[in-house]
Structure 1
Amino acid sequence: PIRDFYMTNPIARASKTMAECSAAMTGAAQLAAE
């Protein structure tokens, strides 16, 4: 499975804003899983 769908796009990976959003979303998902 793809853990971070939004970072599969090269333009999104180059974006600082998308990196921050992705980190926030993956952190929230990990917190909810615990």
Structure 2
Amino acid sequence: MAAEWASRFWLWATLLIPAAAVYEDQVGKFDCVAPC
């Protein structure tokens, strides 16, 4: 059961971390109308 939870956690982490990084990059570009 713990192994299943860990594998599911790592699956979500590997999917969400790059997506979050790309999202932050895009939002940062649009957010830069004011001085950063």
Provide the TM-score with structure 2 as the length reference: 0.49
Unmatched runs of 5 consecutive residues or more in structure 2: 1-8
Over the aligned positions, Cα root-mean-square deviation in angstroms equals 1.5
Provide the TM-score with structure 1 as the length reference: 0.51
Relative contact order: is structure 1 or structure 2 higher (C-alpha 8 Å, sep ≥ 6)? 1
Ranges of 4+ aligned residues in structure 1 off by more than 3 Å: none
Larger Rg computed on CA atoms: 2
More helix by share: 2
Q: Percent identity?
A: 5
Unmatched runs of 5 consecutive residues or more in structure 1: 1-10
